[in-house]
């Protein structure tokens, strides 16, 4: 499984749409096998999505993300996206692999799409499903 986290100064980049670097972890049986860092500096969302898809990413863990970008990654690229996460990349990866990413200390404060959006509920359901 390939897990990607946009990185900025060792932490999850606060806004995925403007992130320029991606930390990619290759894992097997919930253990990290290898990692590499790559640029995702395309100007447009479509180019960025295609670049991420070419990397073979299965799961993207990120901070804030626009709804359009989120939907494109999920629908077109078929990548599982776990948004609204904050913290050190190392800690976030270990929490994800250990099934504790839903801990409130990793939840980015104040991040949601418009109030009452059914997509908010869908994202939280997916987050819980990913942790199983």
Q: State pLDDT tens for residues 56-106.
A: 999 999 999 998 999 999 998 999 999 999 999 999 999 999 999 988 899
Task: Report the candidate in 46, 88, 82 with the shortest Cα–Cα distance to residue 62.
Answer: 82
Residue 73 tokens read as: 């990654």
Contact between 35 and 23 (Cβ < 8 Å): yes
Tell me what the mean pLDDT of segment 27-48 comes to.
91
- Domains of the chain in start order, with CATH, are 2-130 (3.30.420.130)
The gap from C-alpha 38 to its chain's centroid, in whole angstroms, comes to: 15
């Amino acid at each position: 499984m390939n897990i990607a986290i946009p990185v900025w100064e060792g932490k999850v980049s606060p806004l995925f749409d403007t992130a320029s670097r991606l930390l990619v972890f290759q894992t097997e049986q919930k253990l990290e096998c290898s990692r590499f860092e790559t640029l995702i500096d395309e100007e447009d969302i479509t180019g960025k999505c295609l670049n991420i898809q070419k990397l073979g990413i299965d799961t993207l863990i990120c901070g804030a993300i626009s709804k359009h970008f989120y939907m494109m990654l999920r629908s077109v690229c078929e990548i599982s996206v776990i948004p609204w996460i904050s913290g050190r990349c190392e800690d976030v990866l270990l929490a994800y692999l250990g099934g504790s990413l839903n801990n409130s200390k990793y939840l980015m404060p104040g991040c949601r799409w418009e109030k009452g959006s059914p997509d908010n509920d869908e994202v939280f359901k997916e987050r819980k499903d990913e942790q199983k």
